[in-house]
Structure 1
């Protein structure tokens, strides 16, 4: 896929460049602390973050606590949710010695970039953002706040504060990356007299398959249809037993005609590192009962070491805080240096 300015999004070319010289890339990725991470997050993004880390790509992982308020009036259980994110990150293999884990609200210089960046975009451009439109439709707020409209620019500040040049993204997130590129380009044009201040980051499209929730809808923390990484063996079995299937006894992998059954087959296949057609053939006439038994066993076996590590880390809450504190310190140092450079470029270093 080629963008209008000639950038390749998610192509083998970009992936190949990352594989050939991972040290040239810096990744910014992250999550909002609105609940525990689930299997959709794990196969959709977390595995890829660990992969990039292991390749040697410098990785920044943002806990976007400020952005929890984007589509809701109150941030419930924020401290607990932040701690659970750190637990999930460590459990899946993110290493704080190689990946910087930090919180939005702890980086004042990052958030200060929002002001000059807002001057570089129009209200019309913000209103056209498809993600903003979708978030407004599904907003949990009594009224849509101004933060909703600044959300894409805030994300640009997240990406550019550390001069990230690689953003793992889904198809629906490409407008955010493109706006970030626009802001970087406009800032460089307007203020970069001594050279570019910001890189124009590239989007590395995720090849992660879509996993449906147990109700057949989009897997979501808020909809109660997801298996969390922290769920126990019995809870996992209960959730899989209640998963929606169909009335056809013979199990086959056909995502278009049988989306719920196919999503369960895909989940088992991902956990077992197999092809979902092969899993389906083995179950055959076993029906949904046999399918759910296979899925339950596959998920519990795959998550067992992750859950064990999570339980170990949970015993030392002080360590979790220290991971976040060290990450915040490093992110602050980088953000302050970037803000100083921005002030110099804008002529506001008084």
Structure 2
């Protein structure tokens, strides 16, 4: 298995020492606007890596939402909103390649040989796929959703990414990608690896809960979007689940809902969660929610302003995406040529 948090410090040191040796693949499915959990979990880390000088490839996985008719019917809008969120938080299209699945034919062609390298059982026991299926609104599970782990392997390996920022729950996906890379190299590499086995860069950010006390998710309607207004943010936080204890404490095991709100305020304030909780003390949930609202709105005001400004020129968003697609296509074409040569043009 992939090393977890014990290896993260060593990996971070290697990145700082020589960022140019790393190529990252990361991204999101365009199922709705990104939220605060995305920002603290992945987005601000992407900007950090970009600023260190790591080569960044940021995927908009539009083909992977075709299983959801409601999303697919508004896909163009969702894609543009995702580009807006990326640019607003600091992704720089001059230094990071932002691209869409559907525009990269050679990437998607890798799915076929990759599927030949994994079993149905391996796909079926992936815990992330199980979770997606459990929360799907569809009457039946499509083949596209079932093959999602192999498609994600194609996303990562088409550009020869050797570093993938992930959360703990995404490690099984990456492990399958490493398995596919290893099996392809063993079967077709003839002593020369075609693909790297990418490393996991685990996020140090703890999990933020949604306003209902469950995992924050676009699909569950419990998230605070990056693009939310100050008033919308205040309304959502006022309705957040807490508990009956008046004293505010940071105790994620015993009081997860309260602790998640404390953590959100601490992340926005660059403060220690325990200090935030102690500062509120016996003032209760109302005071906690006021603190969180003020912290969120202050932290994200510049991002929201930049997003609103960028939204005025949708043509520029499409131009940025077209340029990213062109760069990604160049990488994908090279990789597919190498794959076909290794497989004797199969």
The TM-score with structure 2 as length reference comes to 0.96
- What is the match of residue 141 of structure 1? 138
* RMSD across aligned positions (CA): 1.4
Contact 2:23 2:161 in 1 (8 A): yes
Deviations 1:133-158 (A, max 9, x none): 22222222221111122111100000
Instruction: Find 1:284's aligned residue among 281, 285, 290.
Output: 281
The correspondence of residues 145-224 of structure 1 with structure 2, limited to 5 A, is: 145-193=142-190, 195-224=192-221
- Provide the aligned length of Structure 1 versus Structure 2: 344
- 1:9 pairs with 2:4: yes
**Segments ≥4 residues shifted beyond 3 Å:** 70-74
Q: CA deviation at 1:71?
A: 6.0
Contact 1:71 1:144 in 2 (8 A): no
Contact 2:24 2:162 in 1 (8 A): yes
Instruction: Find 1:274's aligned residue among 259, 271, 276.
Output: 271
Contact 1:9 1:202 in 2 (8 A): no
Structure 2: distance between partners of 1:282 and 1:54: 34
Contact 2:62 2:101 in 1 (8 A): yes
Residue 71 and residue 124 in structure 1: after superposition, are their counterparts in 2 closer, same or farther (change >3 A)? farther
The correspondence of residues 1-350 of structure 1 with structure 2, limited to 5 A, is: 3=1, 7-10=2-5, 11=7, 12-70=9-67, 75-193=72-190, 195-348=192-345
Structure 2: distance between partners of 1:329 and 1:114: 20
Q: CA deviation at 1:76?
A: 3.4
Contact 2:31 2:71 in 1 (8 A): no
Structure 2: distance between partners of 1:38 and 1:14: 27
Contact 2:50 2:56 in 1 (8 A): yes
- Describe the SS at the equivalent of 1:300: helix
Structure 2: distance between partners of 1:31 and 1:106: 15
Contact 1:71 1:148 in 2 (8 A): no
Contact 1:216 1:260 in 2 (8 A): yes
Structure 2: distance between partners of 1:276 and 1:76: 41
Contact 2:84 2:317 in 1 (8 A): yes
Unaligned runs of at least 5 residues, structure 1: none
Q: CA deviation at 1:194?
A: 5.9
Q: CA deviation at 1:299?
A: 0.3
Structure 2: distance between partners of 1:166 and 1:243: 36
